[in-house]
Amino acid sequence: MITRKDFDRPDHDKVGDTTARETFTSVGAALSNWERLEEMLAAIYAFLSSPAHSTHASFRAYGTLTATMSRRKMINAAAEVFFLNFSNELLSAKLISLLTLYGDAGGRRNEIAHGVVMGNAETKLVDNKYEIVRMHWFLMPAIHNTNKNTVIMEREYALNSETIDRFSKLFDQLTGEFITYISELRAFYHSLPEDRRKNY
């Protein structure tokens, strides 16, 4: 089971990737997994808005918002109306818990999406000259990102591909939890008497 702690920002990785390609590949995979998660959130929003007729229009409406917080609010608003009409404390509480994880995961997704792959040279002194022993590639905040860099250029994160891959897997696992949730939500809705469902 995923917990909020899984999405805490990690300490700076000490050892970087040996090539920039490793880092770029992990970034791409993580962002692709994130978009699959967003597709599932769009499906949940569409179902909560109109369980009998989830439409492409609902998906497009959801997609007009780009911020995780705004999308969470949109789903919460639809859920309030749905669960007012079809009370289910267990499913309501589970959605709140999953959306909290989604919000936490969004922080890591934003860092991955808005980071820059940079190389740090590991050097050693040979004959009074520094020689590069190895390059270490990390995903770090862009220099102009004031919120993620201190005034003396201390960066909030430096991630190697192993760390990025861990978050990528967590995004994928969270998608799985939302898939399970929407199955439970649909099963609950279809278990209700037809006359209750048709008036919503």
Q: If you write DSSP's letter for every residue of 131-196 in order, what string do you get?
A: EEEEEEEEEEE-TT-GGGB-TT--BS--B-HHHHHHHHHHHHHHHHHHHHHHHHHHHHHHHS-HHH
- Residues 16 and 139: their CA atoms lie apart, in Å, by 9
Band of pLDDT at residue 190, cut at 50, 70 and 90:
very high
The total number of residues shown for the chain amounts to 200
Q: How far apart are the first and last CA of the chain?
A: 33
Q: Is 130 inside a domain boundary? A: yes
Q: Is 36 inside a domain boundary? A: yes
Contact 138, 23 (CB under 8 A): yes
The pTM for the full model equals 0.88
Q: Is 81 inside a domain boundary? A: yes
Band of pLDDT at residue 68, cut at 50, 70 and 90:
confident
Of 70, 124, 122, 76, give the one whose Cα is nearest residue 96. 76
Instruction: Give the pair of three-digit tokens for residue 161.
Output: 């591909």
Highest mean pLDDT among 80-84, 128-132, 133-137: 80-84
Q: Is 107 inside a domain boundary? A: yes
Q: Is 115 inside a domain boundary? A: yes
Hunting for tokens 């769009």 — which residue is that? 42
The pLDDT score that the predictor gives to residue 24 is: 97
Q: Is 89 inside a domain boundary? A: yes
The predicted-structure confidence for 30-47, as pLDDT tens digits, reads as follows 999 999 999 999 999 999
Q: Which domain holds residue 76?
A: 7-198
> How many folded domains does the chain comprise?
1
Q: Is 2 inside a domain boundary? A: no
Q: Is 1 inside a domain boundary? A: no
